[in-house]
Structure 1
Amino acid sequence: MAWHHVFVRLAAVALLAAACRPAIAARPLITDDARIVDPKACQLESWMQVQSGGNEFWALPGCNPTGNLELTLGGSLQRVDGGTDFTNVQFQGKTLLRPLETGGYGVAFTAGVIHHPTAQQRKLFGNVYVNVPVSFSFVEDRFLAHLNVGGKRDTEAEQTRMTWGVGTETQVHPRVAIVAETFGENRGKPSFQAGLRFWVVRDRVQVDTTYGNVFGGGTGERFFTIGLRLLSPAFLP
């Protein structure tokens, strides 16, 4: 089955499950937040990233079956020179150590693995990573700040690197937020990204778009994204 048919079916399932229970979104920030999808509910985060090296298409379905454990399994496809390559498979678990409250702060812990089938055919596991997101709420949740500190093990290069991120969400309308972030590793130049997030259906269907680049980078390193996030009500047993 073609990748776009799979995506359409996943989107249809999430839309059919959509109802009116509120939830808070995280796309399109790469900097993680101290929030997870509602207990017994699911989500689909999907986006297209356009850059000079080729376009990437991501789909990351995730569910919270226990109440405090969000499990995500998905991946990406990349189009280069008219061809399609299955470039990434990602599995992640995320739990809250302290729930984020209005006017307060929250802490989460994330661990996962990203496997590159083409580059790592003989490896059972891909790049393993851990991350600690800390989020702060200001002005009745109209401004949120997120700090990340973590690390990843690059199995292909046999290197361990520290990762970090700083992101913000500023609500300018009940349906619209401005998002901005900078992120990177302890080696190389950091990157930045900024854009808009819009609720098509409040707390259920969201679209977003961003522009990003490496600090000091040229046109070859810039990228654009457009995303769709779908959220369901609680339905899991």
Structure 2
Amino acid sequence: MMNVRFAALATLMLAASQPGMAARPLITDDARIVDSKACQVESWMQFQRSGNEFWALPGCNPTGNLELTLGGSAQRIDGDLDLTNLQFQAKTLLKPLETNGYGVALAGGVVHHPNAEERKLFGNVYVNVPVSVSFFNDRFVTHLNIGANRDTESNLNRMTWGIGTETRLHPSVYLVAETFGQNKGNPSFQAGLRFWIVKDRVQVDTTYGNVFGGGTGERFFTIGLRLLSPPFLP
């Protein structure tokens, strides 16, 4: 049981140390933020051999150009439900993304593992620069990430990177794909579909992912729900 828990925690730490938090279901971040004075909730289930996870990440843009996100994840292992991640991120746009143009953002945050203190595993601090480029009137958008992660448990700094794409198949259906990783170890990949149930308000998605060379033990499936509000903050 201890080995299963440790493997699950290691998987969560790897995911949390990747570039930022993008619009579901991508992990590679984008040069976009939620609308000014509006909020969103991104939630998803991740199914994997080491134990299923539930994530919820509420975020708001109270100033017009500062998206603040605070949330986390829980995981059920051998019948026990553990809070495995607490994550805070701040993100601002350096250049808004334009149709057939590009955008640049800056994001930074911290990830804490509240149930890992007995193993001296503490939260990681990270910074990330997402660059998004639009092609063919937004029918195809690519996202490039470069960043760094401070592993406070091992006192190591790691470079993080990501490459993601969004392809519009229909006004309400998008194909998404990405690969991401660090300067050490095998990178991961993920691909799936994003559907707008209510345009710009309610989105569902599903993906399949794995570590390159990871086999069946590292693969995962996700099902997500994203809710976006109209502007309402004072």
TM-score (norm 1): 0.87
Q: In structure 2, what is the equivalent of residue 165 of structure 1?
A: 162
Report the count of equivalent residues.
213
Q: 1:120·1:156 contact (CA, 8 Å) conserved in 2?
A: no
Report 1:67-86 matches (<5 A). 67-86=64-83
Summarize the alignment of residues 77-96 of structure 1 with structure 2, pairs less than 5 Å apart: 77-96=74-93
C-alpha displacement at 1:121, in angstroms?
6.5
8 Å contact from structure 1 (residues 146, 168) kept in 2: yes
Q: Secondary structure at the match of 1:29?
A: coil
Worse-matched range after superposition: 195-204 or 114-123: 114-123
Structure 1 position 122, deviation (Å): 9.8
1-side partners of 2:118 and 2:199: how far apart?
A: 42
> For 1:222 and 1:147, how far apart are their aligned partners in 2?
23
Structure 2 spans left out of the alignment, 5+ residues: 1-21
> What is the distance in 1 between the residues matched to 2:117 and 2:168?
41
User: Runs of at least 4 residues of structure 1 off by over 3 A?
Assistant: 120-123
* Whole-Å separation in 1 of the counterparts to 2:163 and 2:183: 14
Q: CA RMSD in A?
A: 1.5
* 1:39 and 2:36 aligned: yes
Q: Distance in 1 between matches of 2:62 and 2:195?
A: 27
- Corresponding position of 1:229: 226
Mapping 1:1-237, distance limit 5 Å: 26-120=23-117, 126-237=123-234
Equivalent-residue separation in structure 1 for 2:89 and 2:195 (angstroms): 26
Where in structure 1 are there 5+ consecutive unaligned residues? Answer: 1-24
In structure 2, distance between residues paired with 1:120 and 1:141: 45
Percent identical residues? 79
| Aligned residues of 1:120 and 1:126 also touching (Cα < 8 A) | no
Q: Distance in 2 between matches of 1:137 and 1:121?
A: 46
In the TM superposition, residue 156 of structure 1 has moved relative to its aligned partner by 1.4
Structure 2 letter corresponding to 1:152: N
CA distance in 2, matches of 1:120, 1:149: 29
Deviation (angstroms), 1:67: 0.2
Provide the rounded CA distance (Å) in 1 between the counterparts of 2:118 and 2:92: 30
Q: How far does residue 120 in structure 1 lie from its aligned partner after superposition?
A: 3.3
